[in-house]
Chains A and B, each alone.
Chain A
Amino acid sequence: MKTSRAERAGTYTVLIVFTLFALYPMAAILVTALRSTELGQGGIHWENFAAAWTEARFGSYLTSSLIVSVAVVVSTVVLSVLAAYAFGTMRFRGRGLLFALLLLGLTVPGEAVVVPLYFDLRDLGLTDTYFSLILPQVAQSVAFGAFWMRTYFASTSRAVVEAARLDGAGHWQTLWRVLLPMGRPALVTLVVLVFMWTWNEFLLARVMITSEALRTAPLGLQFFSGKATTSVSLLAAASVLVALPVVLLYLFLQRHFIRGLVDGSLKG
């Protein structure tokens, strides 16, 4: 393709400007996290992370987030795979209608259900427990999960299923031993997306959780940033700790994030 030298230079300039725009806020917070908490002292201060972890209690907040995220990811994946397998490979009365009902969940904003959820869970005595964070988030993610995995199951060939059956596999073995292992890429995408959504969730935790011991990382960060005594470096170090797990996962499994967020919405 022919493009002028000026156009190339212009393109690279625009790209670099936008890259700086995209990276600057994160880079700035990383630099701040390494600065001394005392004014005027130079050097790199890794101990800010340790202080954020222990004194600012982010060790506890990150643990809560990990517990909730793992529980939500595992439950969502199992429930989604089971439902998607049926929707993608079996025929039963009302299948289309039930699937459409599930798709509704892709569009219902979590903000709209948080109020009734709070009062329902309060009546059950479940507010201020991990369950109050796990169960609603599984419900919100399972719609996407079933939709996403159904696309995979519907694309698998009948021949593979027939062959498995000739080998004496029932529908249960066919799912776990034959179809699911081949669907690993789709599965990994689902895992990273649900993990990211759950890890980053804030409003539900804000509403449900009152004990400090149960605070998730985003909720802990909001409390920490609201305290007047919080030092800028420690706040930055805590922010880095909160963002890091998902950012690292993104750097290693980038394609899955992009495919999930882009293809998922295109096919929806």
Chain B
Amino acid sequence: MAAGEPRRVGYLYILPAFLVYAVFLLIPLLHSGWLSLFDWDGLTPGRWIGLGNYAALVDGEGVIAAFGHVAVLLVFFAALPVSIGLVLATALHRFEVRGLAFFRTAFFLPQVVAMVVVAVAWQRIFSPDGALNDVLRAVGLDGLAHAWLGDSSTALLAVGVVGTWVQTGLATVLFLGGIGKIPGELFDAARLDGALARTEFRAVILPALRAEIGVALTLTVIAALRTFDLVYIMTPLGGPGGSTTVPAYEIYHRAFQSGQVGSAAAIGIVITVLAFSITFAITRITGGQRA
């Protein structure tokens, strides 16, 4: 931290921000922890049950299934975007690509569109008379055409594809920035040795991008863990046969529809703890430059 000069007035400057932050974020977080210790329907007086809600999460199938779905989504939200992003960023850096600015604008666009709009757009694509089925029928794969979001075996995968669509641009742009910072001599040296694209990737690019890969993984893994809008709108009510329930959906459903406020609060605490652990672990492993 930059050395500043001693000033008591600093407290006055930070006071308004802290007031709002404490009242509308920190205290609700603590309140969530408190609520998670009660059996409460939101109306009648609650009953203290200690860690009962947490024990029920482990025993009950609903929440385990929701976290299982997140595990599947991780492949689509994190693993695929990071892999594709590495390939695209490397390809874009090998020579002076014409229209680089245009490609970057296009790749990053999905990041700024409201998730609700994204969900509506993709719902159309996956619908029985949507673009995906049109393409399948056009190439003679009529057998595969079906209601992708209405089938419990494909709904979660369809949501996952949208996750890949949203996150790939972020990863690519992050990596492009990282590759830009690699000293040119490293590439020259590798090329003098006659390195192929693949060797160059493994010997120069991958090690240099450790921090960026860490950041991309942190952001995308947490996005998968928190996902709500997309799933809630593309596959209402937890999807066909409950095949697309996710933790945030369970929070919403339990707290506001089925009168299990304590249980919802407990799930909230679990995803908070997970978000902190993931951020901490990935930062440790990739040695990011976080303070």
Contacts and interface: CB of A to CB of B under 8 A. Distances in A.
Interface of A: 1-3, 7-8, 11-12, 14-15, 18-19, 21-26, 28-29, 32, 75, 78-80, 82-83, 85-92, 95-96, 98-99, 101-102, 104-105, 107-120, 135-136, 138-140, 142-143, 146, 154-155, 171, 196, 199-200, 202-203, 206-207, 217-218, 221-222, 225-226, 232, 235-236, 239, 242-243, 246-247, 250-251, 254, 257-258, 261-262, 265-268
Nearest to B34: A116
Contacts of A116: 28-29, 31-32, 35, 265
B147 interface: no
B165 interface: yes
Contact of B88 (A15, A32, A112, A171): A15
Contacts of A104: 26
Interface stretch (B48-56, B61-69, B152-160, B225-233): B225-233
A12 B99 CA distance: 10
Contact of B94 (A1, A109, A243): A1
Nearest to B226: A109
A225 B124 contact: no
Contacts of A1: 94-96, 187, 191
Contact of B117 (A24, A79, A155, A243): A243
Contact of A120 (B17, B31, B121): B31
Nearest to A78: B16
Nearest to A150: B1
Nearest to A199: B114
A82 B124 contact: no
A136 B25 contact: yes
Given A18-B88, A18-B168, A202-B228, A98 B251 contact: no
Contacts of A32: 124
Contacts of A135: 20, 23-24
Contacts of B125: 25, 28
Q: What are the 4 tightest A-B residue pairs by CB atom distance, in nearest-first order?
A: A139-B24, A86-B13, A112-B268, A116-B31
Contacts of B122: 25
A101 B24 CA distance: 14
Contacts of A105: 21, 25-26
A203 B28 contact: no
Interface of B: 1-11, 13-14, 16-18, 20-21, 23-29, 31-32, 35, 42, 84, 87-88, 91-92, 94-97, 102-125, 131, 165, 168-170, 173-174, 177, 187, 191, 197, 211-212, 215, 218-219, 222, 225-226, 228-229, 232-233, 236, 247-248, 251-252, 255-256, 261, 264-265, 268-269, 271-272, 275-276, 279, 288-290
17 contacts: A15-B97, A79-B16, A91-B5, A92-B7, A99-B1, A112-B271, A112-B272, A116-B35, A116-B265, A136-B28, A139-B24, A146-B14, A218-B116, A225-B233, A236-B120, A257-B108, A265-B215
Given A82-B16, A86-B13, A118 B256 contact: yes
A102 B13 CA distance: 14
Contacts of B20: 75, 79, 135, 138-139, 142
A21 to B, nearest CB: 7
A25 to B, nearest CB: 4
Contacts, number: 302
Contacts of B28: 113, 116-117, 120, 136
Nearest to B131: A28
A75 B17 CA distance: 9
Given A15-B103, A266-B289, A115 B265 contact: yes
A232 B128 CA distance: 14
Nearest to B246: A111
B279 A115 contact: no
Given A138-B20, A203-B248, A92 B10 contact: yes
A115 B32 contact: yes
B248 A262 contact: no
Contacts of B114: 199-200, 202, 217-218, 221, 242-243, 246
Q: Which of A8, A85, A90, A242 is packed against the most chain B CB atoms within 10 Å?
A: A90
Q: Which of B131, B187, B248 is packed against the most chain A CB atoms within 10 Å?
A: B248
A206 to B, nearest CB: 7
Nearest to A226: B236
Given A25-B122, A98-B14, A115-B265, A140 B25 contact: yes
A221 B13 contact: no
Contacts of B219: 265
A92 B8 contact: yes
A108 B29 contact: yes
B13 A22 contact: no
A80 B17 contact: yes
Contact of A90 (B9, B25, B226): B9
Contact of A109 (B174, B225, B290): B225
A117 B116 contact: no
Contact of A3 (B95, B109, B233): B95
Nearest to B24: A139
A243 B289 CA distance: 34
